[in-house]
Structure 1
Amino acid sequence: MTVKVLIIEDNPVARSFLCRVVRESFSDAMEITEVGDLENARRQVAKLSGGNPEISFKLILVDLELPDGNGMEFLTELAGSPAIKIVTTLYSDDDHLFPALQCGADGYLLKEDRFEVLVEELQRIVRGQPPLSPAIARRLLSHFRPSQSDSGTMPLNSGFGTLSSSHAPFSNSRSVALDPPPEWERLTPRESEVLTYLSKGFTIKEIANLMGIKWFTVNDHIKSIYKKLNVSSRAEAAVLASKQGLV
């Protein structure tokens, strides 16, 4: 099955560069749609999905500064989309980074990074990790270090909680319910199977191989699991899975 990718970038050279990065990053067959502004991005999303999330874009790369608006607007509009949404930008400052994460970005990459670095960071998705440029990862660590020294924990609402990574930091400041939430019964058999593997420490790629499905599909299942169980990390999901005897 071909994976559909949307790249939103107004600079033709940068757009071509990002296409090469995406094709080099994944072994799946890719169908890449390129647009240069928000209007065409919205049109492509509406045209493809037609209200059916099963045939929507699976990966979306969006620049923050576009001719007809800010990429954060688009991230907000895609809040309910199962797509993996990654910001690709030149801005590495807090004023752009944290609002983007709060708007729903699943990753944050700097276009100025070398080709090999961007490929490696995109491949982190398959390993169940958030795609973050090295400079961005360092900035996040630096930002939260004072909080860690004050309380000994890293708050989940710090921005990492919005990422799709199965390794999001787990903080004791957020209590895990002792009893499974009512939504537990709504997990599909497939989601329960994914949760079992996830709780045992398997990566997204390993789960995909075990279940015979695409890693994009596994990521969709994980997002649904987190939403239904009202958790933000693998650790929290594992606690509930353990209580139910799945692991």
Structure 2
Amino acid sequence: MSIRVLIVEDNAVARSFLTRVVRESFSDEIRFSEATDLDSARRWLGIGPGEHAHASADGFRLILCDLEQPDSAGLELLAQLADYPAIKIATTLHSDDEHLFPALLCGANGYLLKEDRFEVLVEELQRIVRGQPPLSPAMARRMLGQFRQHDSRLAPLDSGHGALDSSGSADSLSTRENEVLTYLSKGYTVKEIARLMGIKWQAVNDHVRVVYRKLALASSPEEGLQVGRQADF
């Protein structure tokens, strides 16, 4: 069965480049749909302004959404995709957390920096699809701060250990998740964290993936959209 992919990008050169990245990343047959703006993306998804997209029998499995569109249109689309069962990836020219964090609040599963080399983007896309989203130290600090707003029991950043609710609720981190984020916020690599915690590096990535999901569940899409409009896009 072929994979349906939607690429939302107003720049034709960037759109062609991202199409090549996706083709190189998968051995499956791929059916591409392209949208140059928010309205055309909504038409592909069969939704109108303010409506949330939902699963369909032949829905998209991968959506790449440009964040450099006017009026935070990329974030607005991600907010409408909050309940859509696809891998949603923000594409951007900006690597700072001020631009990327709103996309994660809106439910993006990861991000790609369009100025990276072709080979790097292919590798990063494959990692995200496998559930290994990128997470810089600055982004990890922002995530810890966000969860701290939802859970006053979150341990201080420097401790690395917290007496947290391990029930897996959307607005709190487990002890392990807090520990992983804390190490990441200090610049440790995944393999270094695995060694320090005495677990496999794949388990570290599993924790990061869960944190991404919890972040989106604990935050409303409107919150991410509002944060994005406060940033300098």
CA separation in 1, counterparts of 2:79 and 2:104? 10
Deviation of residue 56 (structure 1)?
1.0
- Distance, in Å, in 2 between the alignment partners of 1:81 and 1:109 is 20
Matches within 5 A, 1:169-208: 170-171=177-178
TM-score by length of 1: 0.56
Contact between 1:87 and 1:100, CA under 8 Å: does it hold in 2?
A: yes
2:96 is aligned to 93
| 1:37 matches 2:37 | yes
2:119 pairs, out of 116, 120, 123, with 116
Structure 1 SS opposite 2:32: strand
Counterpart CA distance in 1 for 2:28 and 2:143 is 36
- Give matches, 1:119-198, under 5 Å: 119-130=122-133, 132=134, 137-141=136-140, 148-150=157-159, 152=161, 170-171=177-178
Report the Cα distance in structure 2 between the residues aligned to 1:61 and 1:24, rounded to whole angstroms. 15
Unmatched segments (≥5 aa) in structure 1? 163-168, 173-200, 204-221, 232-247
3-state DSSP class of the match of 1:62? strand
1:61 aligns with 2:51: no
Structure 2 partner of 1:72: 75
Aligned equivalents of 2:15, 2:131: Cα separation in 1? 25
Distance (Å, rounded) in 1 between the aligned partners of 2:142 and 2:70: 31
Which one-letter code corresponds to 2:157 in the other structure?
Q
Listed as ranges, the matches of 1:1-40 within 5 Å are 1-40=1-40
Higher relative contact order (CA 8 A, sep 6+): 2
Q: Which runs of 5 or more structure 2 residues have no equivalent in the other structure?
A: 48-52, 146-155, 180-199, 203-208, 219-233
| Number of residues of Structure 1 aligned to a counterpart in Structure 2 | 164
- Contact 2:54–2:83 under 8 Å retained in 1: no
Which AA in structure 2 matches 1:108? Y
Q: Which runs of 4+ in 1 moved over 4 A?
A: 141-147
Contact 2:88–2:108 under 8 Å retained in 1: yes
CA distance in 2 between counterparts of 1:2 and 1:145 reads 38
Question: Secondary structure of the residue that 2:31 maps to in structure 1?
Answer: strand
Deviation at 1:93, TM superposition (A): 1.9
The residue type equivalent to 1:26 in the other structure is F
Partner of 1:218: none
Identity of aligned residues (%): 53
Tell me which amino acid in the other structure corresponds to 1:54. A
Q: Is the 8 A contact 2:87 2:129 kept in 1?
A: no
Deviation at 1:127, TM superposition (A): 3.0
Cα separation, 2, equivalents of 1:100 and 1:144: 12
Q: TM-score, normalised by structure 2?
A: 0.59
SS of match in other structure, 1:5: strand
Q: How far, CA to CA, are the matches of 1:54 and 1:80 in structure 2?
A: 15
Distance (Å, rounded) in 1 between the aligned partners of 2:45 and 2:8? 11
